[in-house]
């Protein structure tokens, strides 16, 4: 379905100016009446190769072809144009010369001869073996593939992605099945023919395909069907997939109760289980592209963490796809996006992505609190808080994605995800406190993201719209709150929302359950909150906190840990060294290799193991328990 765009008046004026400028091209009118025929041949995807051919309506004269650069949800100029190869353009069987724009690498110039109305474009797309973020990262193995249409799309400059029409077909390897939000219209010479859609809808509708793919029917709710489609490299990794059906149905019910409406005709999670694709989640109106470890459904720690990803991307259908910051609109995938409101787009989604698994019963309240404690402790140790406000992590998102863990404490990363959990807990508890419990963040979600159920649509918003909606619910200095928490430097993580909810952050020697699951999944060891460093599964120092025993002793990321406390390095050796040093004066010796050099770091630490948790504040009501209660009937 073509997304409907509903915009406030200032945005309508802005887009009207753009439309007027683009209308000067005869191409725009042509594109509206005749679709681009896009044929994607994935039959050789096992060789990490896609063949694509497009038949594009054109008019004689100079033409600029575009390749998607700014992909919705990726928050940066991430379109993998370098992987589009063997490009040939022709008309009436004759090859045409083309040249890349010397400034805009995503634009190609060609002159269309007189009398020509259709341009043939033929190219290959190379799936990378490693490197790249989101849809520019690895996406295929011998037995499965995630096909993102933005990676193979070429289209004329001069019309928005909402008005350009595309008739797509897809050819898959023999024996493979697929799942997508696109509607199938039939088969054409062994290829799947999908319904003609706008370019915006096509890019918004990836395809998950594979040799081992199962589809779980989650039922119909409020007139919309829901499915969880899962592909894996090995059939054995799908053995327990059916266990997700009941809790996923509860997740759907809780999300519907939270927002009060939906903005999709149907919804489908596309879940990939593989160690050989890029791991991430990417939101779409009617589906989500979710990629995790191959053993996620058979490894208990990974299985416990999965609901957070599935809930996060599902919430994006409301917050990010339906309601979207004005700055994150790019009508032709070329206009740069602005991320200053990612603390709403991603931050509120992150908060709800932790909340809904608890309401749906995936997580116990105890496990939810362990997650929150782990996040809080991490954020509170970031020395980058002394110079970089939360808002700058959002503005700078496009250069912060993909930065290494090394230096993340000093640099800060895309902290607008996790830190906004505490901001929106603050908003929720303030709403409750100032309304004597009559108004909650659920009411904001109803009003801001709900309304009447519909198909895919985009309703842009500004920071002022968020503040106006909150003030209509409960008058307060919301502008001042966001200025304090988003725009200004906060050397310590503000915990007022957690404390108003009746809890506080504490440390003791009991392992944190969420951290233990994360360590198990990643095969890491995390001693950041005691010794000040963490170690990857390759026994390499992953992160060193500057203001910690390890940081003061001179440890750096990248060193290979050889020994601890006189023993060969292991998690048990570190635990023993912590126990032996507790209450004493002798330093803990850590032997490392840094390139060809072998060094000994002496860590002055004597307080034993230290892990974060949330603890009840005596005398205060447990508001957090109310926040976590299920809402669905």
Q: Are residues 375 and 493 in the same domain?
A: yes
Closest CA relative to residue 168, chosen from 192, 140, 148: 192
Check if the beta carbon of residue 548 is closer than 8 Å to that of residue 556: no
Tens digit of pLDDT for each residue in 447-493? 999 999 999 999 999 999 999 999 999 999 999 999 999 999 999 99
Residues in Cβ contact with 302 at an 8 Å cutoff, skipping those fewer than 6 apart:
292, 293, 295, 296, 517, 520, 521
Spatial distance between the Cα atoms of 307 and 316, rounded to a whole number of angstroms:
14
Check if the beta carbon of residue 424 is closer than 8 Å to that of residue 348: yes
Domain that holds residue 103: 1-66+81-127+149-205
> Considering the chain, what is the average pLDDT of its residues?
94
DSSP string covering 555-619: --TTPEEEEETTEE--HHHHHHHHHHHTTS-SPEEEEEEETTEEEEEEE---S---EEEEEEPTT
Spatial distance between the Cα atoms of 591 and 602, rounded to a whole number of angstroms:
9
Tokens describing residue 156: 């004329």
Q: Are residues 401 and 550 in the same domain?
A: no
CATH number for the domain that contains residue 19: 2.60.40.3650
Mean pLDDT of 296-311: 96
Spatial distance between the Cα atoms of 188 and 142, rounded to a whole number of angstroms:
25
* 2: confidence class by pLDDT, cuts 50, 70, 90: very low
Tens digit of pLDDT for each residue in 85-134? 999 999 999 999 999 999 999 999 999 999 999 999 999 999 998 888 89
Structural element, H or E, at residue 229 = strand 224-232
Q: Tell me: pLDDT of 343 over 80.
A: yes
Spatial distance between the Cα atoms of 573 and 570, rounded to a whole number of angstroms:
5
In a domain, 156, yes or no: yes
Closest CA relative to residue 16, chosen from 5, 27, 30: 5
CATH number for the domain that contains residue 378: 1.10.390.10
Mean pLDDT of 612-632: 97
Mean pLDDT of 334-338: 97
Number of domains, the chain: 3
In a domain, 408, yes or no: yes
Tens digit of pLDDT for each residue in 222-262? 999 999 999 999 999 999 999 999 999 999 999 999 999 99
Predicted pLDDT of residue 130: 85
Q: Are residues 479 and 553 in the same domain?
A: no
Q: Are residues 545 and 495 in the same domain?
A: no
Tens digit of pLDDT for each residue in 121-143? 999 999 998 888 899 999 999 99
CA atoms within 13 A on the CB side of 44: 10
Spatial distance between the Cα atoms of 271 and 289, rounded to a whole number of angstroms:
6
Predicted pLDDT of residue 522: 87
Tens digit of pLDDT for each residue in 505-543? 999 999 999 999 999 998 899 999 999 999 998 899 999
In a domain, 306, yes or no: no
Q: Are residues 433 and 545 in the same domain?
A: no
Mean pLDDT of 383-409: 94
Predicted pLDDT of residue 376: 98
User: Could you give the maximum distance between any two Cα atoms of the chain, in Å?
Assistant: 88
Check if the beta carbon of residue 124 is closer than 8 Å to that of residue 53: no
Percentages helix, strand, coil for the chain (3-state, rounded to 5) are 35, 30, 40
Mean pLDDT of 139-166: 97
Q: Are residues 554 and 601 in the same domain?
A: yes
CATH number for the domain that contains residue 551: 2.30.42.10
Check if the beta carbon of residue 406 is closer than 8 Å to that of residue 543: yes
Check if the beta carbon of residue 180 is closer than 8 Å to that of residue 269: no
Q: Could you tell me if residue 470 is left (phi over 0), alpha (psi between -120 and 50 degrees) or otherwise beta?
A: alpha
Q: Are residues 492 and 598 in the same domain?
A: no
In a domain, 565, yes or no: yes
Predicted pLDDT of residue 404: 86
Tokens describing residue 232: 């894996």
Q: Are residues 380 and 479 in the same domain?
A: yes
Question: In Å, how far are 65, 67, 147, 342, 492 from 100, measured between CA atoms?
Answer: 9, 11, 25, 32, 48
Residues in Cβ contact with 305 at an 8 Å cutoff, skipping those fewer than 6 apart:
514, 517, 518, 521
Predicted pLDDT of residue 402: 85
Tens digit of pLDDT for each residue in 160-178? 999 999 999 999 999 999 9
Q: Are residues 436 and 535 in the same domain?
A: no
In a domain, 216, yes or no: no
In a domain, 441, yes or no: yes
Predicted pLDDT of residue 44: 96
**Percent of the chain scoring above 70 in pLDDT:** 95
Q: Are residues 335 and 465 in the same domain?
A: yes
Q: Are residues 534 and 491 in the same domain?
A: no
- 3-state secondary structure at position 139: coil
In a domain, 521, yes or no: no
- 3-state secondary structure at position 188: strand
In a domain, 178, yes or no: yes
- 3-state secondary structure at position 120: strand
Q: Are residues 557 and 592 in the same domain?
A: yes
């Amino acid at each position: 379905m073509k997304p409907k765009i509903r915009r406030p008046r200032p945005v309508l004026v802005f887009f009207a100016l753009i439309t007027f400028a683009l209308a000067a091209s005869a191409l725009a009118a042509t594109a509206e009446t005749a679709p681009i025929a896009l044929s994607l041949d994935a039959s050789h995807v096992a060789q990490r190769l896609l063949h694509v051919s497009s038949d594009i309506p054109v008019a004689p004269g100079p033409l600029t072809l575009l390749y998607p650069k700014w992909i919705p949800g990726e928050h940066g100029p991430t379109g993998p144009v370098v992987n589009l190869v063997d490009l040939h353009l022709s008309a009436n069987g004759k090859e045409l010369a083309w040249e890349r724009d010397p400034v805009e690498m995503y634009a190609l110039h060609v002159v269309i001869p007189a009398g020509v109305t259709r341009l043939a474009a033929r190219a290959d797309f190379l799936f990378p073996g490693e490197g790249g973020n989101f849809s520019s990262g690895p996406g295929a193995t011998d037995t499965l593939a995630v096909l993102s249409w933005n990676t193979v799309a070429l289209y004329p400059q001069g019309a928005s992605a909402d008005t350009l029409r595309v008739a797509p077909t897809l050819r898959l390897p023999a024996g493979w099945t697929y799942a997508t939000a696109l509607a199938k219209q039939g088969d054409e010479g062994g290829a799947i023919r999908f319904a003609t859609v706008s370019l915006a809808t096509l890019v918004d509708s990836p395809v998950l395909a594979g040799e081992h793919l199962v589809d779980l029917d989650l039922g119909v709710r409020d007139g919309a069907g829901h499915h969880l489609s899962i592909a894996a490299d090995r059939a054995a990794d799908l053995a327990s997939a059916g266990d997700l059906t009941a809790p996923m149905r509860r997740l759907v019910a809780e999300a519907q109760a939270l927002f009060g409406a939906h903005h999709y005709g149907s919804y489908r999670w596309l879940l990939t289980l593989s160690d050989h694709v890029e791991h991430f989640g990417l939101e779409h109106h009617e589906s989500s592209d979710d990629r995790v470890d191959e053993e996620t459904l058979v490894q208990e720690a990974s299985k416990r963490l999965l609901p957070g990803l599935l809930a996060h991307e599902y919430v994006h259908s409301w917050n990010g796809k339906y309601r979207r910051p004005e700055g994150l609109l790019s009508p032709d995938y070329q206009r740069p996006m602005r991320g200053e409101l990612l603390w709403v787009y991603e931050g509120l989604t992150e908060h709800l992505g932790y909340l809904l698994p608890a309401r749906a019963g995936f997580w116990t309240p105890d496990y939810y609190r362990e997650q929150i404690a782990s996040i809080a402790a991490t954020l509170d140790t970031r020395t980058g808080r002394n110079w970089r406000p939360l808002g700058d992590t959002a503005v700078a998102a496009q250069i912060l994605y993909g930065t290494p863990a090394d230096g993340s404490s000093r640099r800060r990363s895309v902290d607008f995800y996790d830190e906004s959990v505490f901001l929106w807990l603050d908003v929720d508890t303030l709403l409750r406190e100032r309304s004597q419990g009559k108004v909650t963040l659920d009411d904001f979600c109803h009003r801001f993201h709900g309304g009447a159920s519909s198909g895919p649509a985009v309703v842009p918003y500004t920071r002022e719209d968020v503040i106006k909606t909150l003030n209509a619910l409960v008058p307060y200095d919301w502008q001042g709150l966001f200025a304090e928490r988003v725009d200004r430097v906060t050397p310590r993580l503000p915990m007022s929302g957690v404390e108003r909810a009746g809890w506080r952050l504490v440390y003791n020697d009991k392992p944190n359950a969420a951290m233990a699951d994360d360590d198990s999944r990643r095969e890491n060891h995390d001693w950041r909150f005691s010794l000040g460093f963490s170690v990857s599964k390759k026994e390499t120092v992953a992160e060193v906190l500057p203001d910690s025993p390890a940081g003061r002793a001179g440890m750096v990321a990248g060193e290979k840990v050889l020994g601890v406390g006189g023993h060969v390095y292991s998690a048990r050796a570190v635990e023993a060294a912590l126990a032996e040093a507790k209450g004493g004066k002798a330093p803990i010796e850590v032997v490392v290799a840094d390139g060809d050099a072998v060094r000994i770091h002496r860590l002055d630490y004597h307080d034993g193991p230290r892990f974060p948790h949330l603890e009840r504040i005596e005398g205060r009501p447990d508001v957090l328990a109310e926040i976590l209660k299920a809402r669905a009937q």
